[in-house]
């Protein structure tokens, strides 16, 4: 069974500071990994995904994440936070070839301080 752990239900950073959102996963086989963002009262928007190519994945809005197999981690970073980045962020894992859908973490609420 797969699982995702997001460390920190709330993360607060100053505008212009580095954003680091942590995600660790558990999977019996190399999975697909994802980061989604959710703004209030909206659905999920895909930020980036890891599918087995480069371990450093670049996404939209300046976000990137690095797949580290040895640490079973897929942390999300952005060099400089913007006020518009304030949202809920979800890390998710999916078994390759399976029909079990995505398994999501509980989410991290990102707060940007002016």
Write the binding mask 67 to 96 for another protein: x where contact by CB under 8 A, - elsewhere: -----------------------x-x-x-x
Shortest CB 79 distance to another protein, Å: 26
Tell me the two tokens of residue 35: 């980061």
Residue with the two structure tokens 């480069």: 54
Alpha-carbon distance of 31 to 76, in angstroms, equals 17
Question: Is residue 42 near another protein by the rule CB under 8 A?
Answer: yes
Length of the chain: 114
Regarding 54 and contact with another protein (CB under 8 A), the answer is no
Question: Could you tell me which stretch among 18-26, 61-69, 78-86, 104-112 binds another protein (CB under 8 A)?
Answer: 104-112
Q: How far apart are CA 75 and CA 68, in angstroms?
A: 9
């Amino acid at each position: 069974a797969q699982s995702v752990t997001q460390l920190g239900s709330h993360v607060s950073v100053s505008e212009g500071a580095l954003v680091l959102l942590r995600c660790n996963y558990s999977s019996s086989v190399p999975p697909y990994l994802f980061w989604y963002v959710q703004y209030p009262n909206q659905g999920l928007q895909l930020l980036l995904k890891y599918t087995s190519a480069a371990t450093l994945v670049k996404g939209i809005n300046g976000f990137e994440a690095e797949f580290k197999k040895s640490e079973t981690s897929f942390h999300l970073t952005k060099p400089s936070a913007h006020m518009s980045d304030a949202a809920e962020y979800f890390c998710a894992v999916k078994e390759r070839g399976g029909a079990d859908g995505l398994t999501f973490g509980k989410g991290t609420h990102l707060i940007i301080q002016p």
